[in-house]
A and B are shown apart, each in its own frame.
Chain A
Amino acid sequence: MPVETDLEIVARQEAELVFDRFDEDLAFEIGSNMRRLAKTFGKGAAVGVYLWDRTMFFGATAGATDGNRGWIERKVKLVRLMQKSSYRIVLERGDQPRVLSNWALEAGDYAIAGGAFPITIRNVGIIGAAATSGLPERDDHEVSRSAIALALGKSDSYLPLPKV
């Protein structure tokens, strides 16, 4: 999986998966989609939908732990900080250290790991994020992306990352 290809696709995903409206029902739909998609991997996974400090949905599959909840929250904080999907930041940073001391941030508050995808409103911007934890980070990202695509009336294979 060439980083450049993934970066290009993730940027397109972020640019095109944009909502005209967003409410509690839609958050529930995204969260339910995420949980169903994550469950097909047969591992413990947790999913969450957040308008930053406001939790809109949380779900877990058998085997998920509170550790997954922590990963989700730390990935969402990264989206909140950087205004990009957390997987895109992983790709952009490559082998660089993940949170630098001169950013003056608590490293433990953020996870530079894929899986949190921004909730973007047209003509407004990013108002929250949907995040998955428990799978390899690229799959976490794709679960979140697919669930958002479905909620937008698109196919769950809309702008997929190539199979590896």
Chain B
Amino acid sequence: MAVEDDIATVAEHERVCVFKAFDETTALKIGTRLAELAAAKKEALAIDIRFWNRPLYFYAMPGTSPDNPEWTRRKSNCVKRFNRASYALTLRQKRDGKGFAPDDAVDPMEIAAHGGSFPIRIEGVSVVGTITVSGVPGRRDHGYVVEAICEHLGIDYGPLALPPE
């Protein structure tokens, strides 16, 4: 996996995965679909969908542990802080060969630059929340979320998928 390629692909994910509408029912639909996608691959995810001021959907699939929602929380905080997919932060750090600097004042107990949290961006508005999963490595967590969003938006996920490692 070439970091630069992933960086370009994730930027494309962020460009096309933009919503015209998003409410509690949207969250239920996307959350349920994420669980179906993971179950089909016999994988277990914790799934967290939230606006910045309130949770909209949560489901921890059988096989997850209390560690997973801790990850979704810190990954979602990463998106909240930077308004980027958390995997974009992973890639930036990988490319630069370093994590957050002390000057960034990022508390690792609160923010994790690991893939799997994706911004809910509303067209013409801004980022209003996140869709986050934890259960498989960050790059694949990210893939699950983008796949579910693409399905919801009627976008062909195939050409957008990150290539197998």
Q: Could you count the A-B residue pairs with CB atoms below 8 Å apart for me: how many are there? A: 44
In the assembled complex, which residues on chain B have CB atoms less than 8 Å from the CB atom of A121?
122, 125, 128
- The smallest C-beta distance from A109 to any residue of chain B, in angstroms, reads 13
In the assembled complex, which residues on chain A have CB atoms less than 8 Å from the CB atom of B126?
22-23, 51, 127
Within 8 A of A (CB), among B18-32: 19-23
Task: Name the residue among B20, B22, B124 with the largest chain A CB count within 10 angstroms.
Answer: B124
In the assembled complex, which residues on chain A have CB atoms less than 8 Å from the CB atom of B22?
123-124
Q: Across the two chains, which residue of chain B brings its CB closest to A119?
A: B125
Which of B19, B21, B80, B128 lies in contact with A127, CB distance below 8 A?
A: B128
CB <8 Å contact, A123 and B21: yes
Query: Is B52 positioned at the interface, with any CB of A under 8 Å from its CB?
Result: yes
In the assembled complex, which residues on chain B have CB atoms less than 8 Å from the CB atom of A53?
52, 80
Query: Is A125 positioned at the interface, with any CB of B under 8 Å from its CB?
Result: yes
Q: Across the two chains, which residue of chain B brings its CB closest to A27?
A: B126
* A23-B125, A121-B125, A127-B126 known; A51 vs B52 contact (CB < 8 Å): yes
- The smallest C-beta distance from B156 to any residue of chain A, in angstroms, reads 24
- The smallest C-beta distance from A164 to any residue of chain B, in angstroms, reads 32
Q: Across the two chains, which residue of chain B brings its CB closest to A126?
A: B53
Query: Is A69 positioned at the interface, with any CB of B under 8 Å from its CB?
Result: no
In the assembled complex, which residues on chain A have CB atoms less than 8 Å from the CB atom of B52?
51-54, 127
Query: Is A145 positioned at the interface, with any CB of B under 8 Å from its CB?
Result: no
Query: Is B51 positioned at the interface, with any CB of A under 8 Å from its CB?
Result: yes
CB <8 Å contact, B124 and A21: yes
**In the complex, A19→B122 CA distance in Å?**
12
In the assembled complex, which residues on chain B have CB atoms less than 8 Å from the CB atom of A80?
53
**In the complex, A81→B124 CA distance in Å?**
25
CB <8 Å contact, B53 and A124: no
CB <8 Å contact, B125 and A125: no
In the assembled complex, which residues on chain B have CB atoms less than 8 Å from the CB atom of A127?
51-52, 122, 125-126, 128
In the assembled complex, which residues on chain B have CB atoms less than 8 Å from the CB atom of A123?
20-23
Within 8 A of B (CB), among A133-147: none
Within 8 A of B (CB), among A88-139: 121, 123-127
Q: CB-defined interface of B73-107 with A at 8 Å, one 1/0 digit per residue?
A: 00000001000000000000000000000000000
Query: Is A4 positioned at the interface, with any CB of B under 8 Å from its CB?
Result: no
**In the complex, A20→B125 CA distance in Å?**
8
Q: CB-defined interface of B121-139 with A at 8 Å, one 1/0 digit per residue?
A: 0111110100000000000
In the assembled complex, which residues on chain B have CB atoms less than 8 Å from the CB atom of A125?
23, 51
- The smallest C-beta distance from B82 to any residue of chain A, in angstroms, reads 12
In the assembled complex, which residues on chain A have CB atoms less than 8 Å from the CB atom of B53?
52, 80-81, 126
In the assembled complex, which residues on chain B have CB atoms less than 8 Å from the CB atom of A20?
124
- The smallest C-beta distance from B128 to any residue of chain A, in angstroms, reads 5
In the assembled complex, which residues on chain A have CB atoms less than 8 Å from the CB atom of B128?
51, 121, 124, 127
Q: CB-defined interface of B9-45 with A at 8 Å, one 1/0 digit per residue?
A: 0000000000111110000000000000000000000
CB-based closest 5 A-B pairs = A21-B124, A123-B21, A80-B53, A52-B52, A22-B125
| B interface residue numbers (CB < 8 A to A) | 19-23, 51-53, 80, 122-126, 128
